[in-house]
Amino acid sequence: MFNKTGFSLLIILGIVTHLKAQKYSNEYLSIGVGARAHAMSGAQVASVQDVYANYWNPAGLTAVETPIQIGAMHANLYSGIASYDYLGVVKSLNPSKKSVIGLNIIRLGIDNIPYTLNMVGADGSIDYNKVTQFSAADYAVFMTYAQQYKGLSIGANVKVVRRVIGTFAGAWGFGTDLGIQYQKNNWRFGAMFRDITTTYNAWTATLTEQEKTVFASTNNAIPKSSVEITRPTLLLGTAYQKPLNEQIGFLTELNLELTTDGKRNVLISSNAVSVSPRLGIEADFKKIVFLRAGVGNFQQFKNELDPTKKEWAFQPNMGLGLHLGNIAIDYALTNLGNVAQINYSHIFSLRYNLKPKVRV
């Protein structure tokens, strides 16, 4: 089992991969935000209509009816090794025209990692006082604008990416997302063009001469500054919502994620485009209590007993929601993409509607 000590050299060596890799670039931005979304396996593109649309589909922000809405999420990942946090806010600019702005901040980090490269001296002696700590953290800031035009909602965001691996390497990146939503009776349709302009991360490696010597003595390549590219992804969604009776409502949504960074291990795979489906359902009682479930992340694995055979696996998720007045609390139980092992995470998120004081 991994621990933070084991991550010390592993993360530093991983700089080489970060500087060169093209597929799965900025993959931490594919985790998603909001417990509702995680419970529904990320099937959100057509139905998301709150502050979490900052991430999933900025066009959904036009449905926010309060002057200011705030959202926050926290999760411990990988048996508590990493922490994943989100804070978002959306503000209405013109309620009659349904124009809004939003701001998102995401952080995925592993903190207090022991740094042991300086622990061993040139003569082979070990000095534990030279063991220090560092963090490997990824940040993203989304600035969003959305407006509705004759029933069609359009939104876009500009995102700034900052990735830091201690003092050894860091990267700055910039990209743009574009989203649309349209509603017709009980049907909702959505599309999200993620990294539509292609997102570029400029990495800079800053190892000391002693650190370079350690890399060379252990037969590892010395990291060099480079550029990492995140290629465009298209997400398409269709949702159907209808009340079953006066108290119970029901919503189901199907999303297709189309990636363009090469062949992936997903349900439909090719060198040009790979397609991964997600299905989510949500039932509510008087719009107060919500029950959710979803399935996604279809992957193919070799059979452990017979390696010549392959079998499909998928990731099921579930969750609950409680909405009381201006406050909404949501919970999700999710495996966060690890279908090969049972390593579920508990995710909680909060949404709050901030309304102006009524003057008497």
> Token digits for 312?
């499909």
pLDDT tens per residue, range 148-165: 988 899 999 999 999 988
Residue 359, Cβ density class (10 Å: 0-12 exposed, 13-18 middle, ≥19 buried): exposed
- The domain in which residue 21 lies consists of 4-248+324-354
Q: Please name which of 109, 117, 98, 108 lies closest in space to residue 49, comparing C-alpha atoms.
A: 98
Q: Give domain status of residue 14, yes or no.
A: yes
Q: Give domain status of residue 287, yes or no.
A: no
Q: Give domain status of residue 87, yes or no.
A: yes
Residue 119 DSSP code: S
Alpha-carbon span 231 to 29, nearest angstrom: 13
Residue 239, Cβ density class (10 Å: 0-12 exposed, 13-18 middle, ≥19 buried): buried
Q: Give domain status of residue 78, yes or no.
A: yes
In contact, 141 and 158? CB cutoff 8 Å: no
Total domains, the chain: 1
The yes-or-no verdict on residue 2 having pLDDT over 50 is no
**345-354 and 68-77 strand pairing:** antiparallel
Q: Give domain status of residue 286, yes or no.
A: no
Q: Give domain status of residue 191, yes or no.
A: yes
| pTM (two decimals) | 0.84
Q: Give domain status of residue 319, yes or no.
A: no
Residue 96, Cβ density class (10 Å: 0-12 exposed, 13-18 middle, ≥19 buried): exposed
pLDDT tens per residue, range 286-339: 999 999 999 988 888 777 777 777 788 888 999 999 999 899 999 999 876 454
Task: State whether residue 353 is helix, strand or coil.
Answer: strand
Q: Give domain status of residue 217, yes or no.
A: yes
Alpha-carbon span 331 to 309, nearest angstrom: 37
